[in-house]
Each structure stands twice: as structure tokens, then as C-alpha cells.
């Protein structure tokens, strides 16, 4: 119950921040492109008076009205998305994206620590016997005595 309450409180906080961000973006866009202040009620009275006088609306005017009318549905859609999202995703997803930005070029294979073994130091006789068993599995009809000296030489070269 408390978890749900915290989720609702954080959703309200993030929704308020989202609304402020959207309203500020629309405010500056309309200030720049149409030279109107969408926060003042006088602006909407002027638009209504312009509409009621029978003025013809051009494409630019229709785009302006569409933007004004889409402000509320855009906010509602953002609020719904924020409520459906988990708080941790809202905070940490951008941080995870930034941290992975440069790391994608340096991918390393995953290591399972549980399956790592510490290899014991083996004597040459143990290494030779293991290699001979491998050779028997590969070629069961071959004569193993010929390989013994070659295997010993290879192991000594690797140790150097």
C-alpha cells in the first residue's frame, strides 16, 4: 500500500515537471513564431474575436490553433505515460543511456564467476598423459609413442 502511495506521489511530481516543461516549450515556441503569449486570457479573447468576425484562417493560423488545442491532450498522454512508468526507470534510464553511450564500443564477454576454476600446477607427466588421451580420442589407431616426444617439446616451449 505504501509502495503504491509513493508511486502515485512520484507520478504527481514528475507529471507537474512534465507539464511545466511542455508549457514552457509551447510558450517560447508561440512567442518566437506567432508573437503571442499563450498564458494570457486576452490572447484567447483576441483569437475568438478574430474568429467571430468571419476572418478566413490560413494554414499558419490553423497550425497555431492545432498547437493550442493539442496542449491538453499532450499533457494527458504524458501524465498517463509517467504514471505507467516506474519511478526508477524515469530517473535511471537516462543515466544508464549516458553510461552506455561510450561503452558499446568496448563490449567484453560476460564472465560467470561461479564457474571459474583455479588451475593447479601440473607436472610434465600429467600434461603429457592428458595430451596423449586427447590424441587417442582423435586417432584411436595411431601409435602414441611417436607423439610423446613432440608433446614434451611443445609443453617446454610454451613454458619458456
Among candidate residues 78, 81, 87, 72, the one with its CA nearest the CA of residue 9: 87
Q: Where are the domains of the chain?
A: 2-103, 120-159
- Rounded to two decimals, the pTM is 0.50
Instruction: State how far the Cα of 152 lies from the Cα of 146, in Å rounded to an integer.
Output: 11
Q: What digits encode the pLDDT tens for the residues 92-124?
A: 777 777 777 766 666 666 666 665 566 667 777
- For the chain, 160 residues long, the average pLDDT of each consecutive 10-residue run is 81 89 93 89 88 84 87 91 75 76 67 61 76 74 65 75
Instruction: State how far the Cα of 145 lies from the Cα of 149, in Å rounded to an integer.
Output: 8
Q: What digits encode the pLDDT tens for the residues 43-52?
A: 889 888 988 8
Query: In this structure, are residues 135 and 144 in contact, taking their beta carbons and an 8 Å threshold?
Result: yes
Longest dimension (CA), the chain: 108
| Length of the chain as a residue count | 160
Amino acid at each position: 500500500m505504501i509502495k503504491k502511495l509513493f508511486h502515485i506521489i512520484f507520478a504527481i511530481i514528475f507529471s507537474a515537471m512534465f507539464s511545466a516543461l511542455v508549457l514552457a516549450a509551447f510558450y517560447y515556441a508561440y512567442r518566437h513564431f506567432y508573437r503571442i503569449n499563450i498564458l494570457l486570457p486576452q490572447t484567447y479573447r483576441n483569437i475568438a474575436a478574430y474568429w467571430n468576425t468571419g476572418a478566413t484562417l490560413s494554414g499558419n493560423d490553423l497550425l497555431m490553433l492545432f498547437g493550442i488545442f493539442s496542449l491538453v491532450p499532450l499533457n494527458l498522454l504524458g501524465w498517463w505515460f509517467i504514471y505507467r512508468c516506474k519511478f526508477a526507470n524515469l530517473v535511471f534510464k537516462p543515466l544508464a543511456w549516458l553510461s552506455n553511450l561510450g561503452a558499446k564500443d568496448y563490449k567484453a564477454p560476460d564472465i560467470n564467476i561461479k564457474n571459474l576454476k583455479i588451475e593447479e600446477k601440473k607436472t610434465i607427466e600429467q600434461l603429457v598423459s592428458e595430451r596423449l588421451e586427447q590424441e587417442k580420442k582423435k586417432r584411436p589407431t595411431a601409435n602414441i609413442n611417436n607423439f610423446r616426444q613432440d608433446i614434451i617439446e611443445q609443453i617446454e616451449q610454451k613454458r619458456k
